[in-house]
Amino acid sequence: MFPGSHPVVPEPERPLGMPVDLESPAPRPQVHGRIRCGSNDSRSRLNMTDLEMDSVDSGPDTCCNLLRKLSTRKITWVLVTALVTTLCYVWVRPVVCQDSAACARYHEAAKDLNIYSAFISCALGSVFLHEMVSVILMYRTAKKAIHLIPNIKESLLPSVLLCTTFAVLLLENFPFFMAKTPWFVHAANLGREDLDQQPVYTIFFVEWLINVPILLILAGTVALGRPAPEVAEPLIVTNVYMTFAWTANFVPNEPLRYCLVSVSFLMYFRASWTMCQWVLRWQRRNPEGRILGRPLLSFVLILVFGIYGLMYLMRLQGLLDYRDERVFYTTMNFTTKLFASMTLSGIRSSEFQEVLLTMLANTQTSFKRAVNYEETVELLP
């Protein structure tokens, strides 16, 4: 290799956090001295800061296309979730547990489980600090290469999202062992004497409305590189069916209640089918990719959400005690987010190394021959 030449290696398959074009990707140009993660010729571009899709669609702006574009905006998810939640709350008007003597007694009887929430909070605090330190160290490293890799800051997105999930989990567990009154619990109203007034832990559902969309973003956008329209639909559908499932706990009319439950499960199957489509499209683009690699998080989330649904049905039928329900949700909430962190750690590490390797290989480097005069003098006769 001659001085001044430019060694070139292929760019990594997909830098962390960048979407993959679905149909026919344009060839990537070889860049010297300054590396760009991603191509400007792709048909669609994902802004990872606000997850909004800028699309170059030549087709007509039909109603479906407009709704699809609108669904990619973060504000749409927030507004739909807030609207559905508000309407459901106004409809059922659940009684706060502290205003129901029977519910307060049930909640007080589970006071021995508070220590379990405290232990989970300690574990969450350790994991949260670990992720926070990772973000800080990665940011300091990225600052040194920001002039070579313009969008390297986007590689911090998975760690920032994981920090958010662990912080929300901490806020979820604190009231169980710190709150003096059960303001975060509502009294069930199922029209059954054996189940009425038992605690419904609304705080779990609130946490899911925040953290489940983050997990879907990690599984779809970060791990599989799916564009915003594909990821947006399961986000909205999932938040809506979780709200319907919570509402069913306060509907004494049995046919109407199970109508809500049925709609919730149909929406779950729809969201799961869409997530399977993520994997199939990713597999077409990466025929050598392993199913137990990047797609693993999507499959695990589908399975975990299904198990949540089974436990929810058992609780609704009185087959699962409210104490066991609380322990199950507390445990699964923690382990699911921890598994997501472990799964993404390998992806983040390998992709960050590939980006650094590409940066070093494509940077113009001059090679000079140096002579150690001390060793030369010793070799002279």
- What is the tens place of the pLDDT at every residue in 231-268? 988 999 999 999 999 999 999 999 999 999 999 999 99
Predicted structure pTM score: 0.76
pLDDT, mean over the chain: 79
Helical segments of 72-192, H only: 74-92, 101-109, 114-144, 157-178
Mean pLDDT over 83-109 rounds to 95
Q: What percent of the chain has pLDDT over 90?
A: 51
| 187 SS3 class | strand
Per residue in 17-66, pLDDT (tens digit) is 444 444 444 444 444 444 444 333 333 333 443 443 343 344 455 666 66
- pLDDT score at 149: 62
Q: Give the amino acid at 115.
A: I
| 317 or 51, which is more confident | 317
Q: Check: CB of residue 124 under 8 Å from CB of residue 183.
A: no
Residue 248 burial (10 A CB sphere; 0-12, 13-18, 19+): buried
pLDDT in tens, 66-91: 666 666 677 888 899 999 999 999 99
Q: For residues 275-294, give the mean pLDDT.
A: 86
Strand partners, 52: 47
Nearest Cα to Cα of residue 123 among 177, 178, 170 = 170
Per-residue confidence (pLDDT) for residue 151, from 0 to 100: 62
Question: CA quadruple 226, 230, 234, 239: dihedral positive or negative?
Answer: positive
**Spatial CA neighbour of 161 closest among 19, 354, 343, 296:** 343
Report the C-alpha gap between 312 and 260 in whole angstroms. Answer: 13
Mean of pLDDT values over 315-330: 95
Q: What is the CATH number of domain 93-362?
A: 1.20.1070.10
pLDDT tens digits, one per residue of 173-221: 999 999 999 999 999 999 999 999 999 999 999 999 999 999 999 999 8
**What does the pLDDT read at residue 59?**
47
pLDDT of residue 121 exceeding 90, the answer is yes
Q: What is the DSSP letter of 97?
A: G
Instruction: Output 341 or 12, whichever has higher pLDDT.
Output: 341
Whether 295 has a pLDDT exceeding 50, the answer reads yes
Residue scoring higher pLDDT (212 or 157): 212
Q: How far is CA 248 from the centre of its chain?
A: 26
What per-residue confidence (pLDDT) applies to 223? 87
Give the span between the Cα atoms of 2 and 140, in whole angstroms: 34
Higher pLDDT pick, 298 / 134:
298
CA-to-CA distance for 336 and 172, rounded, in angstroms?
Answer: 15
**pLDDT at residue 139 is higher than 90:** no
DSSP 146: T
Dist. CA 152–CA 175, nearest whole Å = 38
pLDDT for the residue 364: 57
Residues 6+ apart with CB under 8 A from 175: 183, 184, 203
Q: How confident is the model at residue 350 (pLDDT cuts 50, 70, 90)?
A: low
Spatial distance between the Cα atoms of 81 and 374, rounded to a whole number of angstroms? 74
Q: What is the pLDDT of residue 323?
A: 95
Q: Residue 135: what pLDDT?
A: 81
